[in-house]
A = this chain, B = another copy of it.
Amino acid sequence: MLDIQLLEKGFSPGKALGLFAKAHPEAGGIASFVGKVRMDEGVKALELTHYEPLTLPGMHALAEEAQARWNLDGLLIWHRVGVMRPQAPIVLVSAAARHRRDAFQAADFTMDHLKSDAWFWKRERRADGWHWIEPREQDHDDLARWR
């Protein structure tokens, strides 16, 4: 079962994970990742822009690729868009599978792709205004692991 959402408002990762686990009683393991806006000094807000005609289909395609590569019972991908404060959750990925490695790999793969190969544009507001953020070199390296 896929649960793919672009969210305009805040959400509770703990609650979402609880419901996802309940929806997959057959899964032996669930691997999850929650990404939050970091409290980097001087960052007052983060804005994520998307282009829904590409962003949402892209998330579905990503989920389908993960399902094709690993034996999953379910995959959840929730991603915030809009303006967020430090500590707000940005992204939640959760993979339910019979076996532990499949769940871990699928969650890891999905996060790497969301981070630098999905249609999101990110900027930070600092004291002197907004600044666009580019993926770090590390993000590209992370992605290359799956090719």
A contact residues vs B (CB 8 Å cutoff): 12-15, 17-19, 21, 25-36, 38-39, 87, 98-101, 103-104, 107-108, 111, 115, 138, 142
Contact = CB atoms under 8 A, between A and B. Distances in A.
Contacts of A98: 38
A30 B38 contact: no
A11 to B, nearest CB: 12
Contacts of A100: 33, 35, 111, 115, 142
Contact of A103 (B12, B18, B33, B87): B33
Contact of A21 (B25, B30, B34): B34
B13 A21 contact: yes
B25 A29 contact: no
